[in-house]
Amino acid sequence: MLIERIEARWIDAFETALRLCELKEGDSVAILSESQSRRVLIDLAELALARLGCRAFHLVLPSPRPRASVPIRSTGASDALGGQIPVIRALAAVTLVLDCTVEGLLHAPELAGILAGADGRRPRLLMVSNEHPEILERTLPDAALEPVVRHAMQRLRAAQRLTVRSAQGTDLAVDLAGARIGGVWGYCTKPGQVAHWPGGLCLAFPARSSTRGTLVLAPGDVNLTFKRYLRDRIALTIEDDYVTSIDGSGLDVDLMRSYWSAWGDRAAYAVSHVGWGLNPRARWDALAFYDKRDCNGTELRAFAGNFLYSTGANEVAGRHTLGHFDLPLRNCTVTLDGVAVVEEGVVVEGVEENR
């Protein structure tokens, strides 16, 4: 069993991550949390910020009532702020928001207002994923990852078409025209920048009517909403962005059908984002070592060479829903305009060397 308490080496880990964010003595930092936040992360953040000489304060909100009768996990869209203007104003005025909310503010409606800043200055935001500190320690941000992710984002931005194939039968095509491209390497240094720890992935939110084909989930692929390795083979038919058929049998298939249908919302079946993992420190097998309460699964979104397919909300396509699946797949070949960036689950090194 993993114990959650202050360990000196975990303060070191927070200090390293925060130094990579280029915080200086005297910088103002808001440690944002809610009543259901993981306490040890808040304490580690405070102690590390004290070492840096930052002026830190805590902003703590009560965790709100659930928005739906269905459990919601790993959406990256915290509703802890509830649109409160005084909270947004306080966060807008700091150098860095250290986001320790359960879900994180990555897709929260208040984020734009916070990043707009105050008095001519804009904050940056680092979301600390709701993981046991041991996971954060293993996936400590590394400056070497930044150029790799930046280069992958440039390639994604320049491409017209992303395709994915696998020996299991995946054969998917995504039109990237009008897509919004994102990428995270685990820290943020510039005003208005957003990052999460663990980081190390690039992704695209495709425009409407962009995605079609077959996505085959195989044993060992992961459903991160359930924090569960799949043991069944599940073939998803995707037509015009939407999963229109779920073929397979077994508990994994039943769970996915059940959760999707519980939303009663067609948008939950649509593509949210597509991308691939680039972080060599993040491990595919990590989920085997932790209880569900110990992890949020961000490590498995970032492990190098995964293809990450996600369903649910996609602002670019004008779809809004709380139903969300993040599905990292192994052993896929991902190509951009016919050139492989991931070959059978391995990041193509030559592509990254040309940065």
Site residues, Fe ion (CB under 5 A): 310, 326
DSSP 64: P
Q: What 8-state DSSP symbol labels residue 303? A: B
Where are the extended beta strands (E) located within 219-350?
222-223, 228-229, 234-239, 242-247, 271-277, 307-311, 325-329, 332-336, 339-343, 346-347
Is 295 buried (19+), middle (13-18) or exposed (0-12) by CB count in 10 A? buried
Residue number with CB closer to Fe ion (95 or 129) = 129
Q: Mutual orientation of helices 39-52 and 8-20 as an angle, nearest 10°?
A: 60
Distance (Å, rounded) from C-alpha 188 to C-alpha 208? 30
Query: Measured from the CB of residue 143, what is the shortest distance to Fe ion in angstroms?
Result: 25
Q: Which is nearer to Fe ion, 297 or 345 (CB)?
A: 297
Residues 114, 110, 131, CA angle at the centre, nearest 5°? 90
| Amino acid identity for residue 343 in this structure | E
Q: Residue 231 Cβ, how far from Fe ion at the closest point, in Å?
A: 22
CB of 249 to Fe ion, least distance (A): 26
Buried b (16+ CB within 10 A) or exposed e, 164-176: bbbebebebebeb
Task: Select from 337, 335, 215, 228 the least CA-distant residue to 270.
Answer: 215
- CB half-sphere exposure, 14, CA atoms < 13 A: 28
Least Cβ distance, residue 267 to Fe ion (angstroms):
14
Q: What kind and span of H or E run contains 33?
A: strand 28-34
Residue type, 201: L
Indicate the residue among 133 and 323 with the shorter CB distance to Fe ion: 323
Residue 337 CB neighbour total at 10 angstroms: 12
At residue 237, what is the residue type?
T
Q: How far is the CB of 324 from Fe ion (least distance, A)?
A: 6
Nearer to Fe ion, 96 or 271 (CB): 271
CB 231 within 8 A of CB 255: no
Minimum distance from CB of 310 to Fe ion (Å)? Answer: 4
Q: Which lies closer to Fe ion via its Cβ, residue 77 or residue 136?
A: 77
Cα maximum dimension of the chain: 58
The least distance separating Fe ion from the CB of residue 217, rounded to whole angstroms, comes to 16
Nearer to Fe ion by Cβ, of 21 and 287: the residue is 287
Smallest separation (angstroms) from Fe ion to the CB of 225 = 9
In whole angstroms, the minimum distance from the beta carbon of 272 to Fe ion comes to 6
- Nearer to Fe ion (CB atom), residue 31 or residue 308: 308
Q: Calculate ∠ Cα 220-230-152, nearest 5°.
A: 55
CB-closest chain residue to Fe ion = 310
Residue 275 tokens read as 């991308």
